[in-house]
């Protein structure tokens, strides 16, 4: 079952189309990363999902409910943490937790205490006096403590130092590992979500350019190095799934975007006699850089 589904979701601000005909399916229990550069439409998408904005056209369903009808009851099952958090800044961390608790029937005091310890938050300090990282942790804590079915995080890591980021990631990973929690997070930096995400979607200028399980993405990309034998043939008519092909002396390097060991090695051997083939896995970050460069090249060609 999907915790979030969008069909043809479009949102305009005047003449600016921030999100265009977006189809997304966020499966139950997944940690789903919505990636894209600044201005790609990530925040707008999340705001529509949270019913802070209405779609211009298309539909979004969140926990089985049309996003436009997402009310107080559904919200007790959703945690939403964004940079423009609306928590009362004059309250201390303790007061915020005391204030939020009664709204959520599923609030877990043990989890609250455990997260307070893990995040090392000063309970008696006012939110207004917390650093940015601490304030984000407080907001996350106030969202995790009621064990929401769905956790929506908008750029949760931007501006956090690596230690705080690690705390934050561990917090999210621990809760998502505890049950069928679904996490949707928006980020412009793949490195931040690499350890978390099991699904990724890429947005560019409001359009979805990729949506895939990270496992399958990592399975189908390989950096391949072919050491040629005596004969050094011309690099023509190569498979279209080979990108960023380059040659230095007797070594040909490329990125295979549809890797299957036998097929890729076979394709190398039929083109290059006596070739030694080495295929290395790539990190998500490397894969995204290749995809971004490909996207740019395709756009330039189309222009
Ligand atoms: P970032 O990573 O910078 O937060 P984003 O991917 O979240 O970017 P959005 O904030 O959704 O992107 O913005 C998408 C597009 O919509 C941008 O072109 C932005 O300028 C525009 N936009 C966003 N909010 C408004 C608004 N309130 N009025 C007009 N245009 C807006």
Residue nearest to atom 29 of ligand 1 (CA): 13
pLDDT of residue 8: 97
Ligand 1 atom with the shortest distance to the CA of 41: 11
Ligand 1 atom with the shortest distance to the CA of 188: 2
pLDDT of residue 231: 67
- The Å distance, Cα 40 to ligand 1 centre, comes to 7
Ligand 1 atom with the shortest distance to the CA of 19: 14
pLDDT of residue 184: 94
247 vs 99: CA distance, rounded Å: 63
Q: What is the pTM of this model?
A: 0.88
Q: How far is CA 175 from CA 37, 91, 114, in A?
A: 28, 26, 11
Ligand 1 atom with the shortest distance to the CA of 40: 6
- The Å distance, Cα 13 to ligand 1 centre, comes to 9
pLDDT of residue 293: 85
Around ligand 1, the residues with Cβ closer than 6 Å are 13, 16, 18, 36, 38-44, 188
Between CA 136 and CA 145, with CA 140 as vertex, the angle to 5 degrees is 150
Q: Ligand 1 pocket check: which of 13, 22, 52, 193 to mutate, most ligand atoms within 8 Å of Cβ?
A: 13
- The Å distance, Cα 11 to ligand 1 centre, comes to 10
- Region class of 23: left (phi > 0), else alpha (psi between -120 and 50), else beta: beta
Reading the chain (303 residues) residue by residue, the pLDDT tens digits are 899 999 999 999 999 999 999 999 999 989 999 998 888 999 999 999 999 999 999 999 999 999 999 988 888 999 998 877 677 889 999 999 999 999 999 999 998 998 888 888 899 999 889 888 888 888 888 988 998 999 999 988 776 778 777 777 777 777 767 666 899 999 988 877 888 889 999 999 999 999 999 999 999 999 999 998 776 677 788 899 999 999 888 899 999 999 999 999 999 888 887 788 999 999 988 998 898 888 777 777 777
Terminal C-alpha separation, the chain: 40
Q: Ligand 1 pocket check: which of 40, 153, 157 to mutate, most ligand atoms within 8 Å of Cβ?
A: 40
- The Å distance, Cα 84 to ligand 1 centre, comes to 14
**Closest C-alpha to 82, from 17, 135, 38, 18:** 135
Tally of CB atoms within 10 A around 19 = 27
112 vs 118: CA distance, rounded Å: 10
pLDDT of residue 174: 73
- The Å distance, Cα 296 to ligand 1 centre, comes to 21
- H/E stretch holding 290 reads helix 284-302
């Amino acid at each position: 079952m999907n915790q979030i589904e969008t069909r043809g979701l479009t949102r305009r601000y005047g003449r600016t189309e921030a999100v265009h005909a977006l189809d997304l399916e966020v499966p139950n229990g997944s940690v789903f990363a919505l990636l894209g550069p600044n201005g790609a439409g990530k925040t707008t998408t999340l705001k529509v999902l949270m019913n802070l904005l209405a779609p211009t056209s298309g539909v979004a369903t969140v926990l089985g409910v049309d996003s436009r009808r997402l009310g107080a009851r559904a919200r007790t099952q959703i945690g939403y943490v964004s940079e423009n958090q609306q928590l009362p800044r004059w309250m201390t961390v303790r007061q915020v937790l005391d204030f939020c608790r009664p709204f959520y029937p599923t609030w877990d005091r043990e989890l609250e205490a455990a997260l307070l310890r893990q995040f090392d938050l000063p309970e008696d300090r006012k939110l207004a006096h917390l650093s940015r990282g601490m304030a984000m942790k407080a907001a996350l804590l106030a969202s995790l403590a009621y064990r929401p079915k769905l956790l929506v995080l908008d750029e949760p890591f931007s501006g956090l130092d690596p230690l705080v980021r690690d705390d934050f990631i561990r917090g999210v990973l621990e809760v998502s590992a505890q049950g069928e929690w679904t996490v949707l997070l928006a980020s412009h930096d793949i490195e931040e979500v690499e350890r978390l995400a099991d699904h990724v979607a890429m947005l560019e200028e409001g359009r979805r350019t990729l949506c895939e399980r990270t496992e399958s993405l990592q399975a189908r990309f390989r950096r391949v190095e072919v050491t040629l034998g005596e004969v050094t043939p011309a690099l023509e008519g190569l498979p279209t799934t080979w990108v960023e092909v380059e040659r230095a002396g007797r070594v040909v390097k490329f990125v295979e975007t549809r890797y299957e060991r036998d097929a890729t090695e076979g394709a190398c051997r039929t083109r290059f006699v006596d070739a030694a083939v080495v295929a290395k896995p790539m990190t998500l970050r490397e894969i995204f850089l290749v995809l971004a460069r490909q996207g740019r090249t395709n756009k330039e060609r189309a222009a």
